[in-house]
Amino acid sequence: MKFTFRVMCLFLTFFCVNASADALIDDANQGLTIACKTLALKNLCQSGLTIKSFSRSTPSTGIAHYEIKLQIGAHNNDIIVLHRLVQMGSNNRPKFSPNAVMMLHGDALAFTPTFFATNNSLAMQMATSGIDVWGMDSRWTTVATDTSDFSFMSDWNMRTEINDIGKALTIARLVRIVENKHFSLLSLLLAPNKLLSESRMSLVGFSRGGQLGYAYLSEESQRPAALRHVKSFVPMDIYFKTDDPSLKELAC
């Protein structure tokens, strides 16, 4: 239990405290190493999990934008980026909200240009209204533009993307569990269902992100309720099934 508490606190510190990015990265990576060696986080840690960079900005009064780059595999290009837009409290820490969302972009653009291009964007509007907004940049968006050898992508597929979504949701929920005002070691032992329930998130998928959302949820639905991250799903600009012949032809 002390290891669980330590790694959760490191995640919380990473997203909350005004300290140097290098110091936070070092501390958080130490916590991840401990967690991967001692906790049942095999899916999260089996290929290695390393924090590569971290930044925090203030796009609007009372709103913080956190951005964390994570290497989640053995190859240098096995990287995703997590975003978080959240209201800040008087203690300069994120306000816990029972309403949270993980947003998945489509094939053309990453999280910021899709959902957070301006202060009037969808993500900013939701954060301003009190929703804890998270987003994930898929690993292909982080590949350097001057890359010429793409052999490292040979085993990337839909399964890879589904696994990445699961890892992103796991990290977001760890942070949200610790931020809950009801969190304590005692509550984690005596009333875990309340903490788990209040930390669950809605999933928003735009275009191909919606297709990935359907695929991810198809798998998550087979887990026990306590192990499910998602409480609702909002597909945007995508459908699961259609009787329109022109749309069928376009998709196939």
What's the CATH number where 172 sits?
3.40.50.1820
Q: Tell me if 31 sits within 8 A of 51, measured CB to CB.
A: no
Q: Tell me if 195 sits within 8 A of 187, measured CB to CB.
A: yes
Nearest Cα neighbor of 137 from 165, 162, 118, 166 is 165
Give dist(CA 196, CA 218) in Å, integer: 20
Sheet holding 230-236, edge to edge: 50-60, 63-71, 79-87, 132-137, 100-104, 201-206, 230-236
Residue 51's pLDDT is 81
> Three-state DSSP class for 166?
helix
What is the rounded average pLDDT for all residues in the chain? 82
**Does the residue 119 lie in any domain?**
yes
Q: How far is CA 41 from the centre of its chain?
A: 16
**Does the residue 137 lie in any domain?**
yes
Q: What is the value of pTM for the model shown?
A: 0.82
Longest dimension (CA), the chain: 57
Q: How far is CA 197 from the centre of its chain?
A: 17
* More reliable by pLDDT, 30 or 3: 30
CA 220, 193, 45, 143 torsion: positive or negative? positive
Q: Tell me if 166 sits within 8 A of 42, measured CB to CB.
A: no
Domain count for the chain, please give it.
1
**Does the residue 94 lie in any domain?**
yes
Q: Tell me if 203 sits within 8 A of 211, measured CB to CB.
A: no
132 is in which domain, residue-wise? Answer: 51-141+157-238
**Does the residue 123 lie in any domain?**
yes
| Eight-class DSSP state of 47 | T
The neighbour count for residue 175, using CB atoms within 10 Å, is: 24
Residue 137's pLDDT is 98
Q: Which residue has the tokens 């959240």?
A: 86
**Does the residue 33 lie in any domain?**
no
| Distance in angstroms between the alpha carbons of the first and the last residue of the chain | 50
**Does the residue 205 lie in any domain?**
yes
What tens digit of pLDDT does each residue of 115-174 get? 999 989 999 999 999 999 999 999 999 999 999 999 999 999 999 999 999 989 988 888
**Does the residue 101 lie in any domain?**
yes
Residue 39's pLDDT is 43
Residue 193's pLDDT is 75
Quick one: 248 exposed, middle or buried, by C-beta within 10 A (0-12, 13-18, 19+)?
exposed
Residue 41's pLDDT is 47
**Does the residue 14 lie in any domain?**
no
Query: Residue 209's pLDDT band (boundaries 50, 70, 90)?
Result: very high
